Structure 1
């Protein structure tokens, strides 16, 4: 018996030594997230751990804000400075802590009893540790490793979502700012018409009805300008929040106009299959489902063994030789046979399986929807660029010639100028919708476009 006990204690000591080797990694899983994000976005992501990291980020942001922002700079600032993203990185630390904890043995227990009966004294010492935890240590570590990998994918996907949201907010902010400029032109033309109409009415050359028409158009143009300015503030503040800017940093400059429409639209081949293989949310769901499958197997294995403890005893009784031995504690499945734990694990696993299937179905639908929206937005913007705006320009030129020849009045010339500005503003909105649609398509495909893209007229 003493030989058996010696071997048991030796095995426990070895396992304790191995269990104590579970430690935290240097990067905490962030390097994997950074590599995934940089490969898909071509941008730098950084985990701010201390004041030196914060100073480096502030310096990078200051350099980017020194000139008018483009879409890529806005995304880079958001990836460096967004506090919500920095908070998301904490999920890596939580998951790694669970992984390290799973690789460590539970602390042993030491019991001490001192009993006095008359002149006799009995001392009992017991050193106990969980055998279930010892036996299941490798499986538990493997399970938490799978969960840790799933968290890495989820955090990387959060980076991609922030990049897409920032890119869309950037185009909306630039378009809103550009629309304000044209709304002011419409308002100026309306004001000029209202003022001229008032003068003509005062000298009897303009009817009350015609004067009222110019006045109400000026009032409508003033209200439209106020709404446009309000929308510009909203869009700019949304972009500011995503970039995590405050104080003097909020005075960043945006370009005066949106990027031009590309000559040809993108044509993506096998878009659905590409998205299924490329999207990080699907990869994370797969990893999580695999982890739960392992967890279910572990639950079934341990359903009948909930408590299994091994203890070493050393008793001392006054007047008697020292007594040593061991005790084994085993929970008897008399009332709880573990069926509830297994049923819960199976339900959680099936829940994950269906979430994975839903994610895949939604991904396919999002790809189809986003590509159709992309092509429609491109065609509409091209229609404005190639047809509506040039025709309005031709009409304006003709009306200017007619006005110079005194064939039309100044009011007709002002009305035509207003119509031309409204058409240009329509093109701005269509161009903004195109860039937003391209961002949505890129996000639906997994954050980056496939390498084998083709263009068509």
Structure 2
């Protein structure tokens, strides 16, 4: 009977240890590290998933896909696909998922037990104290801590998806800028060639006395300006292409991709704004992240109320050995006495943090609604402007050019009038290209305002070609 009583504390100690091991074993890492959820959110909003590059085989597969996508001229969708696969900045941001999951797993594991050993010797007697302490407070609050970290892990997934969606939007905008800049550069090459021919004609006509030196100087300065604009257009095309290349994460021979010669056509009719604010409230990731943050803060507030009075509570098995005496077994409890700090400051801080999170949710929602309305206004305006240029201004300029050419052929208009009209047509064509580009940028901003983190698009300004014409 005495032996069974002596073994009872050991059995209790063994039960506590086994319970701790079982609880610790429940907190494990997921197979994908949260990437599946991020990939699903990204694919729903962009059409393409994200992929974490971890092994050499992953790099080989990505490079093979890039080779296939760049074999043909890029489209906005293929640019987004390459960026989500290959952008190194996105790969670096996906590491935040691993950090958040590590915190979640850590919250589901008990703190390691503490072992203490003491030895006292007095004369012929030796006294030995041994104890093992377990964090019972951590065990009791483990479900709540795991729930809090679980919410933070979900928030980290939304953050990673938000970065991926933002990268997709930036890549689309860089694509349209690159194509528009290339289209402008190609057109300015034609302008420079025509201006060179006009300058040579003016020089010849001046030489034979059919033109004045003033008219020749006008054509010469037009040619000089055309050369300067061509150089600027070529640099802008290079800079826009390099910006796109950075978003795609390409280097080496992969940078030799080709772009289409012109921007996509403008759709005949714009999309309607039905329930666009409601869609933004349901789909905007920054709104969802703010909500998750408020929920996690609310849970943390409840945890602070629980642990505000007692936040250190350890218990464990202890025994004592003294020379010539039987071993003494028992238990030990360690409790922090709230004599000076009753936890009121922690509770007040948690309550203030919660109210801060609530107000941030409301502020994010107000800004999101405003950004969506502004983005849709820019979308509709740029659509109307692009259609106006393509259906009204450019056809009228072409009609005027045809009429001037007819009058020139009938000797009713001079060469100077013909070349002057050509200059006006150049400004109209460049403005039409810019208007078409602005529409596709506004369309991308609208999608980001509804599905991503949003951000108000910049106010619309006059096309650079129109400003140059006004200055001229």
Write out aligned runs for 1:263-412 (5 A): 263-412=268-417
1:104 matched to 2:104? The reply is no
Q: Cα distance, 1:8 vs. partner?
A: 6.8
- Taking structure 1 as the reference length, the TM-score comes to 0.94
Higher relative contact order (CA 8 A, sep 6+): 1
Q: Distance in 1 between matches of 2:87 and 2:128?
A: 61
The 2-side partners of 1:356 and 1:213 are apart by 61
Secondary structure (helix, strand or coil) at the match of 1:254 reads coil
Aligned-pair CA distance for 1:399:
1.7
Q: 2: distance between equivalents of 1:317 and 1:281? A: 65
- Contact between 2:215 and 2:416, CA under 8 Å: does it hold in 1? no
The alignment partner of 1:326 has SS state of strand
Structure 2 match to 1:225: 230
| Distance (whole Å) between structure 2 residues aligned to residue 343 and residue 12 of structure 1 | 36
Deviation at 1:9, TM superposition (A): 5.7
Give unmatched runs, 5+ long, in structure 2: 454-472
Query: Deviation per CA, 1:297-338, whole angstroms, max 9, x where unpaired?
Result: 101110111211112111111122211111111111112222
2: CA distance, partners of 1:104 / 1:341: 24
More moved, 4-13 vs 143-152: 4-13
TM-score, scaled to structure 2: 0.91
Of 79, 87, 91, which aligns to 1:86? 91
Question: Which of 170, 173, 191 lines up with 1:165 in the alignment?
Answer: 170
Is 2:206–2:213's contact at 8 Å kept on the other side of the alignment?
yes
Q: 2:54 aligns with which of 49, 54, 59?
A: 49
Is contact 1:78-1:166 (8 Å) kept?
Answer: yes
Q: Which moved more, 1:53-62 or 1:198-207?
A: 198-207
Give the aligned CA root-mean-square deviation in angstroms.
1.9
Per-residue CA deviation, residues 348-377 of structure 1 (Å, 9 max, x unaligned), is 222222221121111101110000000000
Give, in angstroms, the shift of residue 340 of structure 1: 2.4
Deviation at 1:11, TM superposition (A): 4.1
What is the SS of the residue equivalent to 2:253? helix
Cα distance in structure 2, aligned partners of 1:91 and 1:378: 39
Q: Which one of 107, 127, 138 corresponds to residue 132 of structure 2? A: 127
Aligned residues: 448
- 1:367–1:441 contact (8 Å) kept in structure 2: yes
- Once residues 385 and 39 of structure 1 are traced to their aligned partners in structure 2, the CA distance between those partners, rounded to angstroms, is 33
Task: Answer yes or no: is the 8 Å Cα contact 1:126–1:312 preserved in 2.
Answer: yes
Deviation readout 1:98-141 (Å, 9 max, x if unpaired): 11100000000111112222222111111011111111011111
Partner Cα separation in structure 2 for residue 135 and residue 334 of structure 1: 23
Aligned-partner Cα distance in 2 for 1:365–1:207: 59
| Alignment partner, residue 243 of structure 1 | 248
1:302 and 1:333 map into 2 onto residues whose CA distance is 11
Q: Unaligned stretches of 5+ in structure 1?
A: 449-457
